[in-house]
């Protein structure tokens, strides 16, 4: 159930309806059932087939915010076959399940539970043999949810470096480049642990472009593309060697890793899935949508200001093109300079609210698809031309300076709260022009 302000405007109602339809279309169970078929003993996943009768044991493993939904659907498909399971998800994201083994751990910063989960899944995969089948369910959030640092690097070091990079506005590629060099799981680590077994990885991608080395930091994939060395990234974000000597020592020792066995990956859902579903829903709601981009990026508040400017001109856009609904997707970053509470989608919503203040019949919804924007219980925000008036424009500007957008949107009754969504494909923005329902 999505919680939102009372008496939303017609435009807000339509934006919310589109978002709800989008979340339904990308739910993990829906995506699994579209992609996986079992006919007698033959399991078909995309172009890959497996005769389940030929395997000594089947392991159903997974990590990420959508792993339990993926696992539940796979359990239904595998009915009649015995399998071992271990699914790792975010604390609060796992409903009670009588037959699947589920571990809840920490996100976005790993903790001791993340280490325990990493140890267990690494041990399970290391025990596999040639006649074992591993079905791994990977979704966004896995990087923090399961971890096993390299020798000499402590959990405290890993947490502190991660927090510094997040607060400094590092993007997912930069963050994962550093974390891969400090982990025995990432960058193909799990593939090497399970090198004797038959493995397939099903992915719900929250990474723009679906780079397999970035989804969950690539536990079954090592990128062959040369990238910026993690030490250069730490230097650029002013992470000092004197504070983290063991981290710098480990990253200096990063060399070409042992050969990573090839593991087929099947992308069963991504930002394209979400935005295409949003466009279908918009048309169902009587609107004429235009998908502007599947891959926005950059500083969240800057994107929000640009979106506010576009949304405020939707009436003119409709007169010229017929389009009255703009849809965008991607992932921004936030450079933390204040001590407030919020997330990237809430920053987009606050900045957009300033751009559309006083404009009638316009709404902007900015939200994550995982139900959790930053370290908050909100998915994002839903704003219209009256939102800023409920406090003051200065309050919104101050909230962006202090990174305190949660409190600001809460006071304006504009927080969007969904709870866990059973998916994670990135962030969406929906701008709607509507005079009446």
Cα 306 to chain centroid, rounded: 23
Instruction: Answer for the pair 267, 205: CB distance below 8 angstroms, yes or no.
Output: yes
Closest to 98 measured CA to CA, from 85, 117, 88: 85
Q: Rounded distance, CA 107 to CA 277, Å?
A: 27
The CATH 3.40.1480.10 domain(s) of the chain lie at 10-23+271-432
Task: Give the helix/strand (H/E) hosting 327.
Answer: strand 325-330
Q: Distance between CA 363 and CA 12 in Å, rounded?
A: 5
Q: Alpha-carbon distance 92 to 159, whole Å?
A: 20
Q: What is the per-residue pLDDT for 224?
A: 63
Range(s) for CATH 3.40.50.10180 in the chain?
29-269
* Alpha carbons 312 and 385: distance in angstroms, whole number: 9
Check: CATH 3.40.50.620 for 10-23+271-432?
no
Quick check: 93 and 107 in contact, CB under 8 A?
no
Give the 3-state secondary structure percentages of the chain, helix then strand then coil, rounded to 5.
Answer: 40, 20, 40
Cβ 90 vs Cβ 107: under 8 Å? yes
Q: Give the whole-angstrom CA distance, residue 147 versus residue 179.
A: 10
pLDDT, position 176: 77
Q: In terms of Cα–Cα distance, which of 148, 141, 264 is closest to 200?
A: 264
Question: Which residues, 6+ apart, have CB-to-CB distance to 329 below 8 Å?
Answer: 271, 274, 275, 291, 293, 294, 295, 296, 425, 426, 427, 428, 429
Distance separating alpha carbons of residues 408 and 392, to the nearest angstrom: 10
Strand partners, 102: 87
State whether residue 87 is helix, strand or coil.
Answer: strand
* Three-state DSSP string of 243-305: CCHHHHHHHHCCCCCCCCCCCCEEEEECHHHHHHHHHHHHHHCCCCEEEEEEEECCEHHHHHH
141 by Cβ neighbours in 10 Å (0-12 / 13-18 / 19+) ranks as buried
Q: CA–CA separation, 143 vs 126, rounded Å?
A: 19
Q: Name the residue among 241, 105, 119 with its Cα closest to residue 183.
A: 119
Looking only at Cα atoms, what is the longest distance across the chain?
67
With a CB cutoff of 8 Å and minimum separation 6, the contacts of 97 are: 68, 72
**In angstroms, rounded to a whole number, what is the distance separating the alpha carbons of residues 346 and 210?**
24
Quick one: which of 417, 348, 340 has its CA closest to 383? 348
- For residue 107, is the peptide bond before it cis, meaning its omega torsion is within 30 degrees of 0? no
The packing angle between helices 344-356 and 300-312, to 10°, is: 30
The whole-angstrom separation of Cα 31 and Cα 241 is 44
Where does 29-269 sit in CATH, by number? 3.40.50.10180
Backbone angles phi, psi at 399, to 5 degrees: -60, -35
pLDDT values of the chain reduced to their tens digit, one per residue, 437 residues: 476 656 789 999 999 999 999 999 999 999 999 999 999 999 999 999 999 999 999 999 999 999 999 999 999 999 999 999 999 999 988 888 889 999 999 998 899 999 999 999 999 999 999 999 999 999 999 999 999 999 899 999 988 998 899 888 888 778 878 888 899 999 899 999 999 999 999 999 999 899 999 899 999 998 766 567 889 999 999 998 889 999 999 898 875 556 889 999 999 999 999 999 999 999 999 999 999 999 999 999 999 999 999 999 999 999 999 999 999 999 999 998 998 999 999 999 999 999 999 999 999 999 999 999 989 999 999 999 999 999 999 999 999 999 999 999 999 999 999 999 999 999 999 999 998 76
CA distance 68 to 246: 35
């Amino acid at each position: 159930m999505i919680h939102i302000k009372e008496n939303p405007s017609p435009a807000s109602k339509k934006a919310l309806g589109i978002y709800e339809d989008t979340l339904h279309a990308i739910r993990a169970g829906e995506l699994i059932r579209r992609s996986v078929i079992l006919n007698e003993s033959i399991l078909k996943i995309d172009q890959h087939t497996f005769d389940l009768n030929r395997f000594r044991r089947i392991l159903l493993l997974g990590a990420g915010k959508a792993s339990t939904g993926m696992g539940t659907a796979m359990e239904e498909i595998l009915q009649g076959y015995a399998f071992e399971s271990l699914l790792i998800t975010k604390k609060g994201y796992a409903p009670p399940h009588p037959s699947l083994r589920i571990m809840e751990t920490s996100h976005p910063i790993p903790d001791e539970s993340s280490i325990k989960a990493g140890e267990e899944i690494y041990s399970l995969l290391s025990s596999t043999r040639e006649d074992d089948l591993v079905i791994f369910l990977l979704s966004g959030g896995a990087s923090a949810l399961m971890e096993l640092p390299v020798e000499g690097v402590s959990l405290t070091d890993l947490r502190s470096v991660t927090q510094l990079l997040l607060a400094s506005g590092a993007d997912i590629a930069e963050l994962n480049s550093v974390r891969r060099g400090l982990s025995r799981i990432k960058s193909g680590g799990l593939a090497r642990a399970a090198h004797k077994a038959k493995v397939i990885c099903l992915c719900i991608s929250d990474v723009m472009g679906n780079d397999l080395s970035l989804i969950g930091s690539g536990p079954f994939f090592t990128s062959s593309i040369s990238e910026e060395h993690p030490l250069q990234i730490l230097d650029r974000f002013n992470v000092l060697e004197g504070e983290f000597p063991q981290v710098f020592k480990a990253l200096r020792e990063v060399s070409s890793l042992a050969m990573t066995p090839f593991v087929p990956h099947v992308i069963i859902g991504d930002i394209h899935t979400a935005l295409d579903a949003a466009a279908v829903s918009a048309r169902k709601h009587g609107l004429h949508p235009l998908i502007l981009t599947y891959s926005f990026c950059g500083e969240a508040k800057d994107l929000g200001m640009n979106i506010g400017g576009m949304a405020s001109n939707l009436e003119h856009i409709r007169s010229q093109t017929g389009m009255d609904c703009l849809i965008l997707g991607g992932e921004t970053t936030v450079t933390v300079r204040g001590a407030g509470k919020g997330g990237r989608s809430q920053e987009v919503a606050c900045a957009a609210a300033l751009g559309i203040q006083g404009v009638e019949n316009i709404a902007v919804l900015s939200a994550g698809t995982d139900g959790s924007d930053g370290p908050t219980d909100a998915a994002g925000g839903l704003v219209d031309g009256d939102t800023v008036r409920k406090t003051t424009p200065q309050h919104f500007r101050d909230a962006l300076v202090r990174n305190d957008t949660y409190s600001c949107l809460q006071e304006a009754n504009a927080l969007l709260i969904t709870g866990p969504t059973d998916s994670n494909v990135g962030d969406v923005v929906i701008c709607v022009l509507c005079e009446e329902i």
